[in-house]
Structure 1
Amino acid sequence: MKALTALKKVLLLTMISVLSFSCSDDDDPIVVKQPETIAELAMATPDLSNLVAALQRADLVTTLNGSGQFTVFAPSNVAFSKFLTDNGFASLDDVPVDVLKQVLLNHVISGEVKSGDLTTGYGETLATEASSDNNLSIYINTNAGVKLNGVSDVVTADIDATNGVIHIVDNVIGLPNIVDFALADDTFSILVSALTRSDLTFDYVTTLSTSNGTAPAPFTVFAPTNDAFVSLLSELGVSSLDDIDEPTLKATLDLHAVAGANVLASTLTDNMTVTTLGGDITANVTGGATLTDSNGRVSNIVVTDVQAVNGVIHVIDKVVLPKLN
């Protein structure tokens, strides 16, 4: 009987101990993980460690850790390693800080934009063009996933942060020049074909790739769409660009570029003479921005201020022509 009583006491003490522990455990404060900023999320993501190191070197951590809303296209570690190799840098420390800062800002858009809200067209990054301090554009193509400036794909989308969203990308998005945008945007595929025709006596691609600060950059380019070129062929009664002789093609292309000036749409005025590589054309803004060539033909400017690192593009709906005989 005594043994039974002792056993009951042990069981009772055990139950009291368990209950006491449970009550004590319930009273402990519940630790809730606090929401994280873009910078904090990057620091907590192993595959973004190179990005974090770059942000720290460029003194941009505070920017992406503070107020405001941002969309960040975040290059993976592999993407950063490829960027260094492709540009001849042995390490991140070899990249000039001012260049690194602009490259990083070229991956940031103001405001939160989820992947489902991205559409094909031009956005605006926080990077800037030197001569105008205008924000650089970014070409977003959503026809098959999300591709940026024709070189970088979103591989992981919609990582939510308290101050915006992160989309991880597979390549660093370099600072785009005029040619980069022409190649990235299929709207200009016929223009690219014209600029690269093998019999041309002028190297447009090399010239329009000239770095800012080096003559003849920066440039202002009036870029005709594919539809504009198709309309031109019909107007001239020819079936393809190959039917246009080299002197005429070159004279035509020259009329679409201004050297030594980053002319924004806001600076255009009525009856303004625009001096291109091929001669003068006339800009007007009343009723919509237009260009008039020496034949009296009018081209509408349908997209303005696509800002590259070495100049600006304005998209036009009709090819400008030299004086027709």
Structure 2
Amino acid sequence: MKILKITLLSAIALFVTNVSAQSETIVDVAAGNDNFTTLVAAVKAANLVETLSSEGPFTVFAPVNSAFEALPAGTVDTLLKPESKDALTGILTYHVVAGKYMAADVIDAINKNDGAFSVKTVQGGMITLSLADEKVMLKDEKGNMATVIIADVAASNGVVHAIDTVVMPL
């Protein structure tokens, strides 16, 4: 009986944790993670907080801080300036796809489409998803590659997949 109580309490705790996570929007999830401080600053500068907190659903391929740090020196500072809002908005919305696509959905689509699956971003450009060494890869319109390093971070209005590189539209 004691084992049953412990198991039941563990299940309840897991359920409460999942419900709590599900009440957070994509913006809340990113703001609550130290790996996304640059992304959150960029989302605020581009006035996209309200959009990415809306009902969605959205799939966000979210660059971690080190992805922004890998950009040429001064790029982030320049993009965060008010006069660069349009360019920043274009870059950020290039990382967003309408709909909720969990990793299993993405892998299934890649496998059903001969190893590569292209999706239209909210920005209007295309990214191509593929697999390499069992990891999901994104290829932007310039040919740059990003790797999904953390998948399936659930949010109330979609899902976040952390990536190691900032992808760029044409």
Same fold (TM over 0.5): yes
Of 128, 135, 143, the match for 1:296: 143
Which of the two has greater helix per residue?
Answer: 2
**Structure 1 pair 272–36 and aligned structure 2 pair: CA distance change class (3 A):** closer
Amino acid corresponding to residue 121 of structure 2 in structure 1? T
CA distance in 2, matches of 1:240, 1:273: 27
Q: Provide Cα deviations, 1:128-166, integer angstroms capped at 9, x if missing partner.
A: xxxxxxxx8x5xxxxxxxxxxxxxxxxxxxxxxxxxxxx
Q: Give the C-alpha shift of residue 71 in structure 1.
A: 6.2
Match of 1:70 in 2: 10
Query: What TM-score do you get using the length of structure 2 for normalisation?
Result: 0.81
Of 15, 26, 30, the match for 1:178: 26
Higher RCO structure, 1 or 2 (CA under 8 Å, sep 6+): 2
Of 30, 35, 60, the match for 1:221: 60
Q: Provide Cα deviations, 1:54-88, integer angstroms capped at 9, x if missing partner.
A: xxxxxxxxxxx585561665xxxxxxxxxxxxxxx
Q: Give the C-alpha shift of residue 242 in structure 1.
A: 3.0
**Is residue 263 from structure 1 mapped to residue 133 from structure 2 by the alignment?**
no
Of 228, 243, 252, the match for 2:78: 243
CA distance in 2, matches of 1:273, 1:283: 6
Q: List runs of 5+ in structure 1 lacking aligned partners.
A: 1-33, 38-64, 74-103, 108-124, 128-135, 139-173, 212-216
**Is residue 187 from structure 1 mapped to residue 127 from structure 2 by the alignment?**
no
**Is residue 322 from structure 1 mapped to residue 161 from structure 2 by the alignment?**
no
Of 205, 212, 237, the match for 2:49: 205
- Larger Rg: 1 or 2? 1
Question: Structure 1 runs of 4+ off > 6 angstroms?
Answer: none
Q: Provide Cα deviations, 1:227-282, integer angstroms capped at 9, x if missing partner.
A: 000002x2xxx3252313323211111111112x1101112213101111111110
CA distance in 2, matches of 1:106, 1:67: 14
Q: Is the 8 A contact 1:106 1:175 kept in 2?
A: no
**Structure 1 pair 67–292 and aligned structure 2 pair: CA distance change class (3 A):** same
Query: How many equivalent residue pairs?
Result: 157
- Percentage of matched positions with identical amino acids: 33
